[in-house]
Chain A
Amino acid sequence: MYAQLVETGSKKVKTLEEMSEQERHFQQQVDAGIKIEAKDWMPEGYRKTLIRQISQHAHSEIVGQLPEGNWVTRAPSLKRKAILLAKIQDEAGHGLYLYSAAETLGVGRDDLLDDLHSGKAKYSSIFNYPTLNWADMGAIGWLVDGSAIINQIPLCRCSFGPYARAMIRVCKEESFHARQGYDIMMTLCKGTKEQKQMAQDALNRWWWPALMMFGPSDAQSANSAQSAAWRIKLFSNDELRQKMVDQTVPQAEYLGLTIPDPDLKFNLETQSYEFGQIDWDEFNNVIKGNGPCNRDRLKTRVKAYEDGAWFRDGLMAYAEKHTNSGETQ
């Protein structure tokens, strides 16, 4: 999802008997649904995994601004431009809530950013695809933010207090994102033939990458079993993906658009949709840094950060000068 393939450093989930007393106490609290707070004792693996997961999530919010930034100056009307700007501003805010949650675990903001810029930390594969036409703004809001909501709502109940609270704020704002996206799609689909074709083209390009966002099947994964035991992952990748497909197919039908999957069919017995094979080679390739826009996204982030360094330093120097001269601020 916004955090994909998070390493836990665990080969197998320990039983309560195998745990130290501290660990057992921690696990029992998690099992009882008691939130873990930043200053509580926690296993090192839990702390490290959360830092990885939350920072990956934060990086995704920040890098996720770039594909949409491409369309701010090209939005079809002032209203659409204002809405897009508000959405992008929200993404910055989501990044900030999440970075703050990660920082409660004892890691510095600058270290997190360094890991993003050096390529050591990952962000969601979805943001390495280009935004080629205006309808992509609709498809991203509808499919990408829609998928994010499916992933994030359960995380509001995760075991780590600061992460859960950040997710609650994010989820409140996220449905605006999904709806403004669907609204763009509805407008295009009610428009001319060419406009409807733009919407179909965007759906064709974003459908499969959106399904990949949830990550490969993790039913057998030791990392996912550990994350589930720690309650920082509440549903499997396949369960969440299925939910996304089931809720999105009727929305595409309403628009009169076709999901680009010849194998898609409704299963009367399970009351949900069966869908075709996902191209995991493509996913792995994007994760490895070879998607259509990986290099460009990172280059843009690093440039923005480096170009702003003199300004950040100047503000800090100004604040220190005033503190040192004893002036009240």
Chain B
Amino acid sequence: MSKQWPLWEIFIRSQHGLSHKHVGSLHATDAEMAVCNARDVYTRRNEGVSIWVVRANDITASSPGDKEAIFEPSNNKVYRHPTFFPMPDEVGNL
């Protein structure tokens, strides 16, 4: 029985100077092949100007069970948003 090729996550930077964005995944034996395959699969219609490939096994993710513990505290810190501070009309752009 053949061995399954490792899974790679693919990130593409589009034309407009934005950050690389996760677009999907694919199997490849090594990084070089992952880049080649990513080009063939994810940039057939000018979708990108740069490709990153990362072995799926090397990604550490937050756990869905910890969602509240991790993300809840920021909800009660409304002062982090500029709209928390009302400004007088007289001061113009601020």
Contacts and interface: CB of A to CB of B under 8 A. Distances in A.
Interface of A: 37, 39-41, 86, 89-90, 93, 96-97, 100, 103, 108-110, 165-166, 169, 173, 309, 312-313, 315-316, 318-319, 322-323, 329
Interface of B: 2-5, 7, 23-27, 29-33, 40-41, 44-45, 61, 63-64
- The prevalent SS among residues of A at the interface is helix
A312 B26 contact: no
Nearest to B61: A39
Rank and list the top 4 A-B pairs by shortest CB-CB distance, nearest first: A319-B29, A319-B30, A315-B29, A329-B30
Contacts of A169: 23-24
23 contacts: A37-B64, A39-B64, A41-B64, A96-B24, A96-B26, A108-B4, A110-B2, A110-B4, A165-B24, A166-B24, A309-B2, A312-B2, A312-B5, A313-B2, A315-B5, A316-B3, A318-B29, A318-B30, A319-B29, A319-B30, A319-B33, A329-B31, A329-B32
Contact of B63 (A39, A165, A323): A39
A315 B63 CA distance: 34
B30 A100 contact: no
Nearest to A313: B2
Contacts of A93: 40-41, 44
Nearest to A323: B30
Contacts, number: 54
A316 B2 CA distance: 9
Contacts of A165: 24
A316 B5 contact: yes
B71 to A, nearest CB: 14
A100 B33 contact: no
Contacts of B7: 103
Contacts of B41: 93, 96
Nearest to B34: A329
A309 to B, nearest CB: 6
Nearest to B45: A173
Contacts of B33: 315, 319
A108 B41 CA distance: 20
Contacts of A86: 44
Contacts of B26: 96, 100
B38 to A, nearest CB: 11
A90 B44 CA distance: 9
Given A39-B63, A309-B2, A329-B31, A89 B44 contact: yes
